[in-house]
Amino acid sequence: MKSILLGTAAVVSAAAFGFYELAQAQDVGTADRDKIERAYAHAYSPYAQRDYPTRPLFGETHLHTMASFDAGAFGARLTPRDAFRFGMGDEVVSSTGIPVRLSRPLDFVVVTDHSDNMGMFGDLLAGKPSILADPQGKSWYDMIKGGKGA
Strand partners, 111: 63
64 within a domain of the structure (yes/no): yes
53 within a domain of the structure (yes/no): no
103 within a domain of the structure (yes/no): yes
Give the separation between CA 112 and CA 134, rounded to whole angstroms: 28
110 within a domain of the structure (yes/no): yes
Other beta carbons within 10 Å of 43: 10
Rounded to two decimals, the pTM is 0.57
- Indicate the number of domains in the chain: 1
pLDDT at residue number 41: 67
The phi, psi pair for 44, rounded to 5°, reads: -60, -45
91 within a domain of the structure (yes/no): yes
Under 8 Å between Cβ of 114 and 120: no
**10-69 pLDDT, tens per residue?**
444 444 444 445 455 555 667 788 877 777 666 667 677 777 777 889 999 999 998 998
pLDDT more than 90, % of the chain: 40
What is the largest distance, in Å, between two alpha-carbon atoms of the chain? 81
To the nearest 10°, report the CA torsion of 86, 90, 94, 98.
150
Range of the domain at 97: 59-145
40 within a domain of the structure (yes/no): no
47 within a domain of the structure (yes/no): no
Residues 108-143 as b or e (16 or more Cβ within 10 Å = b): ebebebeeeeeebbbbbbeeeeebbeeeebeebbee
135 within a domain of the structure (yes/no): yes
